Chain A
Amino acid sequence: MYKVLIVEDSVFVKTALSNAISLMEECEIIDTIENAEMAEILCLRLKVDVIVMDICTKDDSSGLRSAANIKKLHPEIKIIISTSMPDYSFIKKAREAGCESFWYKNENTDELIGIIRKTLSGESIYPDASPVIRIGEITSDQLTPRELEVIKKLAEGRSYQEIADELYVSIDTVRQHTKTIYSKTGFHSNVQLISACIMSGLVLPGY
């Protein structure tokens, strides 16, 4: 019997996940918790086989950060990241943290059950890309990875110089990227751009 831990702070989603997983004969839910850091504590003492981990959990605790911490200490625990947020960086971060699978939440819990079974059998299931959303006059897939990185860093409050240092480019290159983003999206200021990106979930600072 595989031991499953659910980390989810939305009551509705938690109920749906709980019910779907409890129908799996080979799995047993050991607990459903709302804060990702609590999962780190539980994994220190309990035998856990799979964690279904939300990214934005209670008290702003990041599921991705906790997943990375858990993987460092217990690489044998399989982690499935689940989220409804279309932030483009989450898939990359989940891979970097060593998570086995990734699921964009939807009403079809059978899809999740399929992912859990495949993950338990040693497969790694990741979506090809993050959901496409509208940003100003374009869709998110029309922005280059570099432009998305610049937007993410701007949303985290970085200055142009700090972005240039972190991306190993010159400050003029960063300015050029922002100009291109403005011309693509039709926005005229960083405030417009960042608020639209945060509201649409394209970037979520802090996770």
Chain B
Amino acid sequence: MTGEGDEGLMRMVLFFEITGMIAIVAAIYIVIIYRYNHVYTASDMRLSIDLLPIPIYFGLPNRLPLVVNNRMYSLIYALKGKPLTDMNRDFDCLMDGHLAQDDIERELAEKYKNSFFVRFEDRIYLIEKKEFDDNGELITQISGQDITEEYEHLARLRELNEEIRQQNVRLKEHFKNVAQVNREKELLNAKINIHARLGEGLALTRFCLKHPEDAGAKAKVTGLWEQIILGYTDGEVRNDSSLGDYDELRRVADLAGCSLNLMGELPAGDAVPMFVRVLREALNNAIRHANATALTVDLRGFADRGRVLIYDNGTPVKPFTKPGGGLSALMEDLEQSGVLMKISAGERFEIELNFPEKYR
């Protein structure tokens, strides 16, 4: 009985020993697996940097690279035609030798300093160099930022702006044509009216000649011809302003008691409509706001530099270029035609115009 009891006890102990060992082995296995899955090795880090979609480089000032990913190697090879040797030097050479290819790159270059742009595998990268301090050690980081979308948006924005500008020009032309057609129509209506009156006069005269005894018709025809002749021929038209584009302006200035002093010759050709408009606005402002008695137009710099100065002798006032106001609308219209307008109000209120060469 005692022997059988010992044997059973031994078996039980053996069972627990084996089970315990299996449990310990399983625990050790779990710990190992856990540790293995949660610890990154240098090769993991290397792989992750290589998989980055952007080219990247970290190095020390003594030009030893710490980390360079494959994309950076490929990029440098594509740009230099040789493998990367000294990234700092390569960056400086590429930066010095790089020329902006278009206006968008030039615009972006203003925004991103110490950088340049490269086109690589149908993408556009901004290659940038930065330095930072890592526990007293200076680290250089050179990385590429994919700006393809920003570039494409800017290009599209430029295209759209250009389209809008052209549409504005077309719209202006269209309005100009409409106004021209209206004027011609008015003229034609007036001519038709005159012809109608003449026709009426002739018909009534014919009637009078055929019926000389009709005193009423005779009086009517005399009255009609008087009206036609006095109305359209002998009458005095005061101050006919169709003599020239500037004539009306000069006359109105004199009448309003604000003489127009010209220094140099007035522009001719395409510049005339714009110039007349500016003078009109300047005259209005000089009288209305500054109570001026003279408006001086300095045109001496127009022929060679396209520069015109307009100022008055009135009380200096602040520039009143509120949005939608006369001067601000004028400024916008002039800008669309390439004419720059500046307004200053120091000792005197002054308008400076700068016409591009095509207007001189």
The interface of chain A, by Cβ under 8 A from chain B, is: 9-16, 18-20, 22, 29-35, 37-38, 40-42, 44-46, 56, 59-60, 84-85, 105-107, 109, 157, 198-199, 201, 204-206
Contact = CB atoms under 8 A, between A and B. Distances in A.
Contacts of A204: 178, 182
A44 B238 contact: no
Interface in B172-189: 175-176, 178-179, 181-183, 185-187, 189
A46 B255 contact: yes
Given A19-B235, A31-B239, A34-B242, A205 B186 contact: no
Interface stretch (B50-58, B78-86, B139-147, B276-284): B276-284
Contacts of B178: 198, 204-206
Interface stretch (B7-15, B40-48, B192-200): B192-200
Nearest to B196: A107
A38 B237 contact: no
A42 B256 contact: yes
13 contacts: A11-B242, A12-B187, A14-B240, A16-B190, A30-B255, A33-B239, A33-B248, A38-B249, A38-B252, A42-B255, A60-B175, A84-B186, A204-B178
B132 interface: no
Contact of A37 (B183, B185, B190, B280): B280
A41 B252 contact: yes
Contact of B256 (A16, A20, A44, A56): A44
Given A32-B239, A40-B284, A44-B256, A84 B189 contact: yes
Given A12-B191, A201-B185, A206 B242 contact: no
Contacts of A10: 183, 186-187, 190
B234 to A, nearest CB: 8
B273 interface: yes
Contact of B238 (A29, A84, A205): A29
B241 interface: yes
Contacts of A14: 237, 240
A44 B288 contact: yes
A109 B176 contact: no
B257 A56 contact: no
A67 B342 CA distance: 29
B287 A44 contact: yes
B319 interface: no
Contacts of A107: 193-194, 196-197
Contacts of B280: 35, 37-38, 41
B189 A38 contact: no
Contact of B182 (A12, A18, A56): A56
List of 10 A-B pairs having minimum Cβ-Cβ separation, nearest first: A19-B235, A12-B190, A107-B193, A45-B256, A60-B179, A44-B287, A38-B252, A206-B175, A10-B186, A56-B182
A3 to B, nearest CB: 12
Contacts of A201: 182, 185
B248 A38 contact: yes
A38 B239 CA distance: 14
B230 interface: yes
A41 B238 contact: no
B236 A18 contact: yes
Contacts of B284: 37, 40-41, 44
Nearest to B192: A107
A138 B184 CA distance: 26
Interface in B19-64: none
B171 interface: yes
B231 interface: yes
A42 B237 contact: no
Contacts of A12: 187, 190-191, 194, 232
Contacts of A9: 183
B121 to A, nearest CB: 41
A18 B237 contact: yes
A35 to B, nearest CB: 7
Contacts of B175: 60, 205-206
Among B194, B231, B287, the most chain A Cβ lie within 10 Å of the Cβ of: B231
B23 to A, nearest CB: 74
Contact of A34 (B194, B248, B287): B248
Contacts of A34: 241-242, 248
Contacts of B186: 10, 13, 56, 84-85, 105
A16 B231 contact: yes
A19 B277 CA distance: 30
B289 to A, nearest CB: 10
A88 B279 CA distance: 33
B232 A15 contact: yes
Contacts of B176: 60
Given A19-B230, A42-B256, 6 more contacts: A30-B255, A33-B252, A40-B284, A41-B256, A41-B280, A42-B252
Contact of A18 (B171, B179, B196, B235): B235
Contacts of A85: 182, 186
Contacts of A33: 239, 241, 248, 252
A45 B239 contact: no
Contacts of B230: 19
